[in-house]
A and B are shown apart, each in its own frame.
Chain A
Amino acid sequence: MNWLDICALEEINVLGSRIINGPKGDIAIFRTSDDEVFALDDRCPHKGGPLSQGLVYGKRVACPLHNWQIDLETGLAQAPDVGCAHHHSARVENGRVQLALRDAS
């Protein structure tokens, strides 16, 4: 995998997120309470709401537009809603957030 250096972990608030301008639109990078990071295309599968603006809890984010609950690891919407946000690989190495883009297939 092609890991890209993004920023220091501290640049993202705990239970918060930041965005980067990706080649196919914004990508949201989330930080959980135990300092794991996850990356999703910044578009809710429902109506395209910016997930980066949602409230993060556990390993989920609630979309700011209509409160869909999206799983950060898989991008899957929680039942009974159905849909999936495109996800990318993200990790923390030596205090730096790294991202590996996954092409939308």
Chain B
Amino acid sequence: MKKLKLVMIGNGMAGVRTLEELLKLSNELYDITVFGAEPHTNYNRILLSPVLAGEQTFEEIVLNDLSWYLDNNIKLLLNRKVVEIDRVKRRVIAEDGSEAEYDRLLIATGSTPFILPIPGNTLDGVIGYRDIADTQAMIDTAKTHKHAVVIGGGLLGLEAANGLKLRGMDVTVVHIGEWLLERQLDKTSGQLLQTALENRGLKFRLCEQTQALHDAGNGRVGSVQFKNGDIIPADLVVMAAGIRPNTELAEKSGIPCNRGILVNDTMQTYDPRIYAIGECASHRGTAYGLVAPLFEQAKVCANHLAQLGFATYKGSVTSTKLKVTGIDLFSAGDFMGGEGTETITLSDPIGGVYKKLVIKDDVLVGACLYGDTADGGWYFRQIRENHGISEIRDHLMFGENALGDVGHQGQDKAMSMADTAEVCGCNGVCKGTIVKAIQEHGLFSVDDVKKHTKAASSCGSCAGLVEQILINTVGGAADVKPKSEKAICGCSDLNHGQIRQAIRDQHLLTIAGTMSYLNWRTPNGCATCRPALNYYLISTWPGEAHDDPQSRLINERAHANIQKDGTYSVVPRMWGGVTNPSELRRIADVADKYNVPMVKVTGGQRIDLLGIKKQDLPGVWKDLDMPSGHAYGKSIRTVKTCVGSEFCRFGTQNSTQLGIELEHDLFNMWSPHKVKLAVSGCPRNCSEAGIKDVGIIGVDSGWEMYIGGNGGIKTEVAEFFVKLKTAEEVREYNGAFLQLYREEAFYLERTVHYMQRVGMEHIKKAVLEDPERRKALHERLKFSLSLEQDPWKQRLEQPQLKKEFEVIPVKNLEVPA
């Protein structure tokens, strides 16, 4: 097939990200040509301020070097500004006369600094702050001149002023507004910021308008004159009074523009062959100037360029962060408030802390933080997820940590941590390593950080901390999304919710069918998506969809737990943690016969045989003659019990019996993540029911049921769910809740995280308030489990399944000489 010709005008972050996304989808569709006006490959424009401040070098902020373009067969034409688009003949023409024909054109010309229309604005020493050339001009001027004036007290202006000050200049910031950063801050926090910057030696002139720039007599600017007549010296004037979408070329070519090139939800302009993206594009009346929305646009645009045609862009909620080292400032969403909104404010001017939260209809819609921005990421997530906050309103101001036990997830620690402090305890990664990787490789998401540093890639408990470090390092550019919005993996752009829904709505029954229906990018997925799809299929269509052992990770394929040396651990089931002499004898005999190096009692009241070779597994199971304990699966694990009223002098209920019954009820249950239960016979709660997915506590008048507890990575206390009279009721309510979880949770989402996502109200509505629905849920669970068999027994009886455990015998194996 002959390739189509794709031409991109502009070589900046939004455009190149679109190409990256496109190449992920298809590298065979297009011959790609890129025109860049600057002499550089794509670099991280948002890190120009750290370069100006001397904290990073130009080399460090390059995102794609020449070899990237070469490797992807992209023809890169640098230093060539495109001056004409000939839409009839479908070609673009650059200043130097070079031309390129296109089938699809992508305009990513970005924006230009707004240069005030005042006398003297073309003098030497008057610049915008936009690219490497501007930054270099500032660095050079700081070496030879003294006085700098920055016009504009927005993010860019303040970053420029801070950098110039650090490079030794005397800097005055002129701002037309009443306070600094009026688009990001309210008045109080703006004033706090001003005081902090004044303490660093910056000068400010607020509510001031510039009237003219005067020549020093040599063609270079020498002073600035204000409307009120004041004149101050200036050897350098930086115009940072806003940016304008760079639409000149588009307008000249007759493409409709209105403060940006007009695009629809698929990033197409009025000429369907031409797309526009990034700061030059106007989507539903907004031209975004921050990088995170541009990346979202890039994904959508790439999807259409790749001729998939299902992604749409609906606009973005944005957050910003000032990149001035030592000053913490964060704002997101609608932080100014207005009609129909309420605000909660915390103000400590002496301590330099100010926080404002804006709430509308019980939903957090905006946040503005100064001085303590540790919870910025969390607030941003709340805003994007649209959660009702009425239940946590009392504590909202105090951040995520105020909501309960903190464990060691530690979101608030990111800023104060030393570079040498360990962030990821599993893989031994410290903060400095993560920050360095983010800066050097231009990383924007936690997944990128995982890949490059291994941090948060094992148990994941530090993911929150890594996210905070990411936000602190790249600010609003950080791609932080809740799991409910994130793509399942690199194989698809769809998130877990969309995939679950498609499987249900379209009655999809196989992994291959699902991948083909949902346009998977890879022929058979990867180790992330296949186990998830397998679970979604068998839980949605029990009896119709068939389990695919090859799409399960090894523990669920071998039905034992792999250890670091490649051996396995075997945990036989002991219902409710109760055993007897005959079982114990068999376990002892197995341990002798197979030379088991360690026999250990687990936290879940079971016996673990560790260090068993894979080929011995079937023999061990046969000799044990006990059912699988499922200690290896995303499945029912154990029901822990105390001895209860049968023996205990305090026991009020027969907790052991109920535990055994519940464990039989749930035997062979696969679930989104592991599920652990406990039953206690009295409120002393010796079985630790408060930290289980479902915890039952016997009281004199019946049973209390708690849900969503977790004793692992981050301790979570289970929440009270319902008080019931009989053991029969407990079994029904328990089955209904777990079936709801099985049907609605995302793969690898524990009950606590599922609960946090959908809300307790939702679960109560389904299980408590509607008896019909509760019974139906319980029935569906029973039906589903009626089709399952003990996996150990199954493997002993079916030779085909036993193959997995056998070594292929081969004779005459010799290494060639």
Contact = CB atoms under 8 A, between A and B. Distances in A.
Contact of A64 (B458, B523, B562, B807): B562
B457 A23 contact: no
A19 interface: yes
Interface string B64-91: 0000000000000000000000000000
B810 interface: yes
**Chain B interface: which size bin?**
35 or more
B451 A80 contact: yes
Interface in A35-75: 47-50, 53-58, 60, 62, 64-67, 69
B421 interface: no
A47 B550 CA distance: 23
Majority-rule SS of B interface residues: loop
Interface residues of A, number: 41
A33 B452 contact: no
Nearest to A19: B807
A11 B812 CA distance: 20
A92 interface: no
Given A19-B807, A54-B554, A65-B562, A4 B812 contact: yes
Interface in B511-570: 522-527, 530-531, 549-554, 557-558, 562, 564-566
Contacts of A67: 457, 527
A6 B810 contact: yes
B527 A21 contact: no
B394 interface: no
A26 B457 CA distance: 28
Given A2-B816, A4-B810, A64-B562, A54 B803 contact: no
A50 B566 contact: yes
Contacts of B458: 66
Contacts of A55: 526-527, 530-531, 550-554
Contacts of A65: 562, 564
A18 interface: yes
B808 A6 contact: yes
A7 B811 CA distance: 11
Contact of B554 (A53, A60, A101): A53
Contacts of B807: 18-21, 26
Contacts of B552: 55
B813 interface: yes
A8 B795 CA distance: 21
B379 to A, nearest CB: 31
A15 interface: yes
Contacts of A26: 807
Nearest to A49: B566
A84 interface: no
B526 A101 contact: no
Contacts of B554: 53-55, 64
Interface in A14-29: 14-16, 18-24, 26, 29
Given A7-B808, A55-B551, A23 B564 contact: no
A20 B562 contact: no
B815 interface: yes
9 contacts: A16-B804, A18-B803, A19-B808, A23-B813, A29-B808, A33-B523, A53-B566, A60-B526, A80-B452
Given A47-B564, A55-B552, A67-B527, 20 more contacts: A2-B816, A4-B812, A6-B810, A7-B808, A13-B549, A13-B803, A15-B551, A16-B804, A18-B808, A23-B813, A23-B814, A48-B565, A50-B566, A55-B551, A55-B554, A58-B526, A64-B554, A80-B452, A101-B815, A102-B816
Shortest 9 CB-CB contacts between residues of A and residues of B: A62-B527, A64-B554, A15-B550, A53-B554, A50-B566, A55-B527, A20-B810, A20-B808, A80-B452
